[in-house]
Amino acid sequence: MTYDERRVEARELARRAIERGEPTAWFEELYAAADFDSERIPWADLEPNRHLVHWLDRNHVRGDGKPALVVGCGLGDDAEEVATRGFDVIAFDLSPTAINWCRRRFPRTSVNFQTASVLQPPDDWQARFNLIVEISTLQVLPPDLRAVAIDNISKLLAPGGDLLVICRGREQDDDIGSIPWPLTKQDLAQFGERGLKELSFEDFMDVQDDLPTRRFRVHYQLHG
């Protein structure tokens, strides 16, 4: 299956789920249909996101045992990378199949992989994490659910904690296109409205993809 075919399959599952009023159900449907074949998952590179790795390296990020959270962890590579930096990592995904897949891939991991939803995270995660990594989850949520997710992610940061967001980017008046929907600076400004301070905002073209893709990489911090 080609990359384009994988994207078409995922978009069709998403379209059907949204039409029937279950806009997040397609994640589990996609992972279950893949039957542990990563070629069926459009975003599964089986390696950490290079923009995450670059940020961690450039900022000499070390966890020293502090708690970190990886949102929408997929097949777990980003979570494993964060764990190598010394963090005590919880990584979650809405799809039980994805979480089982992570545990199969990394049987000796220190990462605590859990099935959970960013739309209703566990109560004991509130104000808990010194680092939260969110990559490409917000961009696959409809705007009303995206606002809920942004609010919830903001509440999970501990005072002084850092949030890294990596996503596709666009201007406010650009065509929104099809899922995954690129985010605008106005979309991400919602984090500031929830008390997070923007420490850096990188707007760049990802030229390593088949087609150059505009991306945002944003670092926020919750001041205590």
- What CATH number does the domain containing 121 carry? 3.40.50.150
Type and span of the H or E element at 165:
strand 157-168
Q: Rounded to whole angstroms, how far apart are CA atoms 189 and 40?
A: 33
- The three-class DSSP label of residue 132 is strand
Q: What angle do CA 124, 99, 12 make, to 5 degrees?
A: 110
Strand partners, 75: none
Strand ranges of the sheet holding 112-115, from the earlier edge strand across to the other edge:
112-115, 88-93, 67-71, 129-135, 157-168, 213-221, 197-206
Within a domain: 129: yes
Indicate if the pLDDT at residue 209 is higher than 70: no
pLDDT for residue 207: 85
For β-strands 67-71 and 88-93, DSSP reports them as parallel
This prediction's pTM? 0.95
Residues of the domain holding 112: 47-221
Cβ atoms of residues 88 and 51 within 8 Å: no
Q: Which residues contact 184 (CB under 8 A, 6 or more apart)?
A: 169, 170, 171, 172
Give the pair of three-digit tokens for residue 146. Answer: 């995206």
Q: Is residue 33 one of the residues assigned to a domain?
A: no
Count of structural domains, the chain? 1
**104 within a domain of the structure (yes/no):** yes
- The pLDDT value recorded for residue 1 is 61
Give the pLDDT of residue 10: 84
19 assigned to some structural domain: no
pLDDT top residue among 149 and 11:
149
For residue 1, tell me if it sits in a domain. Answer: no
pLDDT digits (tens, 9 = 90+) for 43-99: 889 999 999 999 999 999 999 999 999 999 999 999 999 999 999 999 999 999 999
Q: Kindly tell me if the per-residue pLDDT of 41 is higher than 80.
A: yes
Cα 44 from Cα 60, distance rounded (Å) = 26
135 falls within a domain: yes
Q: Is residue 83 part of a domain?
A: yes
Per-residue pLDDT reduced to its tens digit, 116-133: 999 999 999 999 999 999
Is residue 153, in this structure, part of any structural domain at all? yes
